[in-house]
Structure 1
Amino acid sequence: MSSSIASAAPSKGVRRSSRASIVPPPVKSPQNPTPRKAKPPAKKKGRTSTASRGKRGDDDSGSSEEEEDEDDDRSRKRKTPKKATNGTTSKAARSREIKPKPRRVPVAGLNPVPELFSLFPSHASFSDAVRSQLDPIPDPHAGDEPAERAIFVFGTGDMGQNGLGVDDPKALDEIKRPRRHIGFAKMVEQGREGWQAGVADLVCGGMHTLAVDGKGKVWSWGINDNAALGRVTSKPDVTSEELEATPMQVEQLGSDREPFNAVRVAAGDSVSLAISDRGELRAWGSFRAAEGLLGFDGSAGSSKTQLVPQALKNVDKHTIVQVACGDDHFLALTSTGMVFACGNGEQSQLGRKIIQRHKEHGLTPERLALKNIVLVGTGSYHSFAVDKDGEVFAWGLNSFHQTGVDEDDGGWEDVISTPTRVASLSPKVLPDHARVVQVCGGAHHSLFLLSNGDVYVCGRSDGHEIGLADDHEQMVESKKRKDDAKAERAEREKQELAGFHGEDGQITATTEDGKTMTAEEAALAAAEAAAKGVPLPNDYVPVPTRLPFPKEPKAWEKDARADDLDDDDVSTEETKIVQIAAGTRHNFAVSARGYVYSWGVGPSSQLGQGDEEEVETPTRILNTALSNVRVLRAETGGQHSALVGIDREYQAKAAERREKREGAAAAAAKAEQEKADEKETNGVQPNGDAAAGDKEEEEDARMDGAEEVAGEEGKKLEPVVEV
């Protein structure tokens, strides 16, 4: 793979992949798949044709074995059951009625199923030093006052990636610093069902975003070229841009018979996944290969995209607790510590050999030879797993040493074909026996979050993807490797050029057509031969190395604007990180005190640092929108990013909201009492006034949806018509 990637901002108005410089986009974007109509019964008995089975497989690829058996039964021609003479269904027909299957009980094991609003996974057991800075976070399920988790967006939004709709002329502009998402803010303010406490989970894909609300509903927005949104975005009288740029629910995740309450979502370049509170997994979208769309489930059907969320073979009987997505592959972790891999395996990111001419075989999830795993993570084209003892395993593309595998264990290879232990991340050698609690990566670099709040990095470094300063010893060593190679190449070039001359100093080398080379041609030929003989190494850091962060203030200051404070200031202390995120060549880290940092290459404002397109070291993001916000989480895709945060003064604001609610409830109760008193007074009026009172009572009952009528005499009264 090339040692450089184009980082120029993409042109607007053109559909493209978020990794256009790595994986070329398709020549023509696929349209939203149209729902298939039911086929008429076969006229001949026997098995269905290969073509029809292929199409069925495309639609039902995620069904369980029981569902497949039912499909096979339904594919056979059956006689219509006769009805009994009394009009009831016959006994034979009743005996063939299919009863709803009981929902599968989650399998208990090493890893518990995640819950809504839980900020950290169960394995993230942070040290006392981290917990001392991590203030309690309100838990809506425990009856705590909701802290209203708000969403902040920034980066390129020309294709609706920021989810701000199309009504505002600036909604599709590039947002250079974090901006509160006004649409979700209004839903929270209005107390819309599922949004009383704000967003429960959020993740950015290549050019789309998924979010989960408090009711377990999944929302999506962004590019839908390859069905990544899980919903139709081509409807009459509504532009596709509006449907893509506006957050809407993914409606077909479950059914009344089998509801699907999402607790976690994951997203790749064009694939999306969701986990339910019962450990069920649903997936939709498509995977890509070097030449374009690869497909979704390896079926024989012609469609390479999956618009309707589906269960997946081999994992549908397991309880899934975590999913990590690369660009075009994912890892699924089960409650019992098993790992399944699925998607594009061209760089061995699936941990198994995929034959090039049968790339679609990777589209079926297969179990890896790993056990007792508690955590999975991915980069764009590489993968990680951590077992219960804290040992880290890595595999996949390693052209910039992004797997962190030691050279003694094969780390010099461009591809690590099978899961290999990363010795330098073992708790046995890490300070204080810390353990890796989160892993993520970009195209050619990786980040590792430890239980003591430290972050370790490795991989590509020429764009400061790993955040180390130029004077860091690992960066100095990387520069020395390249300088040494340049010197060796220059010496080789001299030798090659000398070989083109005779003893008299005249050029003797000839071109392909037999003519003597000119001086310029000889110099060029020597340079080409030297470059081939001595290739320059990539800029990389091969061993996971601790990444320094600037110190943080011990006490939050609302009006603080400085990116960094003096490290010698007595009011500062060491920064402890509790969450990390990686994009193609850029990164984010969230501290225990609720500050967010970014660094790397971000030509599309995805760093949130204004006009800065490259940030060398972790730099705090502070702007007006975040001045009063405690950041809980950062997520990023190809050219857009999002943050989740709560108001630092949420307790005071929660009290204000509580007072408003109590005041509104008291006013409503008072109005109801006055209404009841008025009814009682009208009910004792004599003669015509009594009839009018009865009529008012009927009108009130009708407005309240009640069916009661005041007495038999009231029923006989004619309607009172006022003139």
Structure 2
Amino acid sequence: MVALQRKKRTGEQSAERNGKRHKSALVTSSFILHSYSKLPDINDYSKQKTVGLDVFVWGTGSMCELGLGPAASTKEVKRPRLNPYLTEEKLGGTRVVDFAVGGMHTLALDGKNRVWSWGTNDSGVLGRDTSQAKEALKDMDADASEDDEDGDLNEAESTPGLVENLALEDEIVQLAATDNLSAVLLSNGDVYAWGCFRCNEGLLGFLHQDIKIQRTPMKIAQLQNIVQIAAGKDHLLALDSKGIVFAWGNGQQFQLGRRILERHRFKSLEPQQFGLYNIKYVASGDFHCFAIDHADNVYAWGLNQFGQCALTGANGELEDGSILMKPTMIPELSQRGIQQIAAGEHHTLALTKDGVVLAWGRYDMKEVGIPEDQLPKSTFKDQHGKPRSVPVPTELKFGQKGKAEVKIKAIGCGSHHSFAVTNDGFVYAWGFSETYAPGLGNLDDDVERPTRIVNTATKNEDILMIGAGGQFSVSGGVKIDDEDKAEDRIEKYNEIDEE
């Protein structure tokens, strides 16, 4: 790829020092440090979700990711399946109200303010002791085709269990999960976390250089008045009530918004602000991040070699290994009413207030959901003419005819697959299919266009939220009790999706 000629950033003017809200979201870190107590509160604290959800899981769960118990037959689930351990009966009269999906584990919050976890626990991300789990014995009479040579799963890791030492007076309002760390945000703005961060060289640590792996929830004293958290592969972002963004964890791809010197690598384990102010929303992919300010400007930083930050040179140039070292305003995304951003390893989705989904980034595994015959002119191709990435945000079409009445209310990304949830609660999926993570069954090829998930378990469910990890996915919905309404919904989308 050719060299990236970065556009000159706008909005880096000196901040006014008279206590009024700044016109720019980019200020100096020293200004924030010395003026923090005088800055006004501009963001509201989050509130706990209350709608009880049916939780569905699918994909490949060889590392206990699906939470369906230890039987080896649960390692591959090709379409969404109700998790039987998270029903109202199993949870003692309550339901799951929220969840967060990491690379190989999931956190779920129930209506009693309890957090459940499942998945691989090598880094202590489950927040509970799974070392004494009994080995699940194989059924010798079972059909050999229903079992595999690897045997059954760890019973404690593959079955949802309560996070320990997390009895809190304040409500939990948000969960976050990286590849190796878990975190919860409380209604009073406090953050608790457990697990660790990893970097290119292996284990980085949890907090300071003294704590390598934290196996039970620990309050992050450096954070106060937090209103939102966002997780990357091995880093976290936190947004506070004053509109200031903090970041900590692995910063080797500049995903912390600042340069991390090798001799100070352990300083990256402590949350620090890096000059972003007046922000109302943050989001993160594996190695790249986004922030939206109160003027509806969008900023990005981190890895950008596939244009996943939506920034190229003046002529659409991309650079192999390109990095945005500091938050940079993205003209293609600003002033477009973006409400949500979801991102994977090298691709990104954005949802506007009008229910429109924009996609950009890597194309190799069809992550962006654009058929090859409909790729925009901005598509970057290699020397052989093969499409490699779509660096300019491009509107996605849903249904065979791209009908305009399909509006989207939620989006989600795994490492290389993506989802969009319609206002009616149906899910469209696309991307890398080998691990069954899109939930579309057994496919020979990756899914190049948004394709509706059709299965018995969710056909009468109004899906409200969705998330994904490296090779699995999770959704939450509410059953539609009105049979006529459910049938009308199915007929509507059968017509939308027909050839």
Query: TM-score range, shorter-chain basis?
Result: 0.7 to 0.9
Aligned to 2:239: 333
> Given the alignment of the two structures, is residue 170 of structure 1 paired with residue 108 of structure 2, yes or no?
no
1:588 aligns with 2:419: yes
Match of 1:314 among 222, 235, 240: 222
- 1:485-515, Cα deviation, whole Å (9 max, x unpaired): 349xxxxxxxxxxxxxxxxxxxxxxxxxxxx
Alignment partner of 1:365 is 2:365: no
- Cα distance in 2 between the residues matched to 1:363 and 1:270: 13
CA distance in 2, matches of 1:546, 1:397: 22
SS of 2:251 mapped into structure 1: coil
Q: 2:378 touches 2:392 (CA, 8 Å); kept in 1?
A: no
Query: Displacement of 1:368 after TM fit?
Result: 2.1
**Which residue does 2:251 correspond to in 1?**
345
Distance 1:352 1:182, change over 3 A: same
The 2-side partners of 1:243 and 1:191 are apart by 16
Q: Which residue identity lines up with residue 362 of structure 1 in the other structure?
A: S
Residue 464 of structure 2: aligned partner:
632
Equivalent residues of 2:379, 2:391 under 8 A apart: no
Describe the shift of the 1:181–1:451 C-alpha distance in structure 2 as closer, same or farther (beyond 3 A).
Answer: same
For 2:14, the equivalent position in structure 1 comes to none
The reply to whether residue 426 of structure 1 matches residue 258 of structure 2 is: no
Q: For residues 545-584 of structure 1, what are the structure 2 equivalents within 5 Å? A: 545-550=394-399, 574-584=405-415
Counterpart among 428, 432, 437 of residue 606 in structure 1:
437
**For 2:269 and 2:66, how far apart are their aligned partners in 1?**
30
Distance of 2:187 and 2:483 partners within structure 1: 29
Question: Contact conserved, 1:634 with 1:642, CA < 8 A, in 2?
Answer: yes
3-state SS of 2:257 partner: coil
Residues 615-662 of structure 1, C-alpha deviations (whole Å, 9 max, x = no match): 00111101011111111111101111111011111799xxxxxxxxxx
Within 2, Cα distance between the matches of 1:467 and 1:237? 43
- Change beyond 3 A, Cα 1:114–1:477: closer
- Which among 130, 138, 159 is matched to residue 246 of structure 1? 159
Once residues 473 and 371 of structure 1 are traced to their aligned partners in structure 2, the CA distance between those partners, rounded to angstroms, is 36
Contact 1:263/1:276 (8 A) holds in 2:
yes
- 1:539 maps onto 2:388 in alignment: yes
Residue 200 in structure 1 maps to residue 200 in structure 2: no
- Checking the alignment, whether the CA contact within 8 Å between 2:85 and 2:159 is kept in structure 1 is no
Seen in structure 2, the aligned counterparts of structure 1 residues 425 and 308 have a Cα distance that, compared at 3 Å, is same
Q: Larger % of helix: which?
A: 1
In structure 2, the partner of 1:114 is 46
Partner of 2:457, secondary structure, is: helix
Residue in 2 that maps onto 1:34: none
How much has 1:190 moved relative to structure 2? 6.5
Using CA pairs under 8 Å that are at least 6 residues apart, name the structure with larger relative contact order, 1 or 2: 2
Amino acid at match of 1:543: V
Moved more, 236-245 or 437-446: 236-245
Equivalent-residue separation in structure 1 for 2:316 and 2:372 (angstroms): 27
Partners of 2:316 and 2:378 within 8 A in 1? no
Q: What are the ranges of 5 or more consecutive residues in structure 2 without an aligned counterpart?
A: 2-38, 137-152, 485-499
How far apart are residue 236 of structure 1 and its match? 7.1
- Change in Cα spacing, 1:397 to 1:227, as seen in structure 2 (3 Å) is same
* SS at structure 1 position matched to 2:96: coil
Query: Corresponding residue for 1:96?
Result: none
Q: In the alignment, is the contact (CA less than 8 A) between 2:133 and 2:155 conserved in 1?
A: no
Q: 1:369 to 1:179 in 2, by over 3 A?
A: same
Q: 2:304 aligns with which of 398, 415, 422?
A: 398
Partner Cα distance (1:650, 1:208) in 2 = 34
On the 8 A contact 1:206/1:327 being kept in 2, the answer is yes
In 2, the alpha carbon distance for the partners of 1:190 and 1:424 equals 47
Cα distance in 2 between the residues matched to 1:465 and 1:266: 23
Output the TM-score relative to the length of structure 1: 0.56
Change (3 A) 1:340 1:469: same
Q: Does 1:460 align with 2:340?
A: no
8 Å Cα contact 1:216/1:263 also seen in 2:
no
User: Counterpart of 2:73 in structure 1: which amino acid?
Assistant: K
1:436 to 338, 343, 351: 338
Structure 1 unaligned runs (5+)? Answer: 2-106, 119-138, 140-147, 428-433, 488-536, 551-563, 653-723
Aligned to 1:270: 180
CA distance in 2, matches of 1:276, 1:269: 21
- Return the letter of the residue paired with 1:614: D
Give the aligned residue type for 1:478: T
How far is the alpha carbon of 1:261 from its aligned partner? Answer: 2.8
Alpha-carbon offset, residue 162 of structure 1:
1.0
Cα separation, 2, equivalents of 1:462 and 1:298: 38
Q: 1:236 to 1:211 in 2, by over 3 A?
A: closer
Count of residues in Structure 1 that have an aligned counterpart in Structure 2? 429
Q: 1:190 to 1:539 in 2, by over 3 A?
A: closer
CA distance in structure 1 between the partners assigned to 2:344 and 2:455 by the alignment: 26
Moved beyond 6 Å, runs of 4+: none
Query: Does the aligned pair in 1 maintain the 2:230–2:236 contact within 8 Å?
Result: yes
**Matches of 2:327 and 2:183, distance apart in 1:** 24
Other structure's SS at 1:539 match: strand
1:402 counterpart SS class: coil
Query: How far, CA to CA, are the matches of 2:420 and 2:353 in structure 1?
Result: 14
> 2:65 aligned with 1:161, yes or no?
yes
Assess, with a 3 A threshold, how the Cα gap between structure 1 residues 291 and 190 changes in structure 2: closer, same or farther.
closer
**Distance change (3 Å), C-alpha of 1:312 and 1:409:** farther
422 and 236 in structure 1: CA distance in 2 versus 1, 3 angstrom threshold: closer
Kept in 2: contact 1:116–1:214 (CA 8 A): no
State the match for 1:224 in structure 2. 121
1:311 CA displacement: 1.8
- Displacement after TM superposition at 1:260 (Å): 4.4
Whole-Å Cα distance in 1 between the matches of residues 198 and 344 of structure 2? 17
DSSP-derived class of the 1:151 partner: strand
Cα 1:472/1:277, change in 2 over 3 Å: same
1:304 aligns with 2:224: no
2:73 partner SS: coil
Aligned to 2:201: 291
Letter in 2 for 1:175: V
State the distance in 1 between where 2:353 and 2:397 align.
Answer: 16
- Separation (CA, whole Å) in 2 of partners of 1:466 and 1:207: 22
Determine what percentage of the aligned residue pairs are the same residue. 40
Label 1:639 to 1:367 Cα distance change in 2 as closer, same or farther (>3 A): same
DSSP-derived class of the 2:156 partner: helix
Match of 1:478 among 379, 391, 401: 379
Structure 1 residue 405, shift from structure 2 partner: 2.1
TM-score norm. by structure 2 comes to 0.81
- Paired with 1:472 and 1:623, the residues of 2 have a C-alpha distance of 28
Deviation at 1:191, TM superposition (A): 7.2
Instruction: Summarize the Cα distance change of 1:267–1:409 in structure 2 as closer, same or farther, 3 Å threshold.
Output: farther
- Whichever structure has more strand as a proportion of its residues is 2
Larger radius of gyration: 1
Q: CA RMSD in A?
A: 2.6
The answer on 1:235 being equivalent to 2:132 is yes
**In 1: Cα distance, 2:44 partner to 2:367 partner:** 33
Report if the CA contact (8 A) 1:324-1:331 is conserved: yes
| Counterparts of 1:634 and 1:251, CA distance in 2 | 25
| Aligned-pair CA distance for 1:277 | 1.9
Q: Shift in Å at residue 309 of structure 1?
A: 1.1
Structure 1 SS opposite 2:85: helix
Instruction: Give the structure 1 partner of residue 83 of structure 2.
Output: 181
